[in-house]
């Protein structure tokens, strides 16, 4: 089980994500980002690469895909808010989207 992000962890791990396109979800302790790709195959490939890591880390995103757009929301349901698992997966998703 993970723990909710502390105030210090929010500054050190969450702020860089917010500067990189992630946003807080209104009314929830969660972060959201929209990824846009060249086409459906690239978007689906991104989701597949992310799914491998999500399964490996046993932490699964709330997400949807329409054509070349992937919408992602991350939160840790076991702590009813953001945890280090969310920031870790968000950083991995950003790397996978860039690479």
**pLDDT, tens only, 20-68:** 999 999 999 999 999 999 999 999 999 999 999 999 999 999 999 999 9
Q: What are the chain's domains?
A: 7-98 (3.30.1360.20)
Q: Who's near 30: CB < 8 A, 6+ residues apart?
A: 24, 73, 74, 75, 81, 82, 86
pTM of the model: 0.94
- pLDDT for position 1: 62
């Amino acid at each position: 089980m993970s723990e909710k992000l502390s105030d210090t962890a929010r500054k050190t791990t969450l702020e860089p994500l917010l500067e990189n396109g992630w946003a807080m979800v209104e009314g929830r302790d969660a972060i959201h980002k929209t990824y846009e790709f060249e086409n459906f195959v690239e978007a689906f490939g991104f989701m597949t690469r992310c799914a491998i890591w999500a399964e490996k880390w046993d932490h699964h995103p709330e997400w949807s895909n329409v054509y070349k757009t992937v919408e992602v929301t991350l939160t840790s349901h076991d702590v009813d808010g953001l945890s280090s698992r969310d920031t870790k997966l968000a950083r991995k998703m950003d790397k996978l989207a860039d690479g």
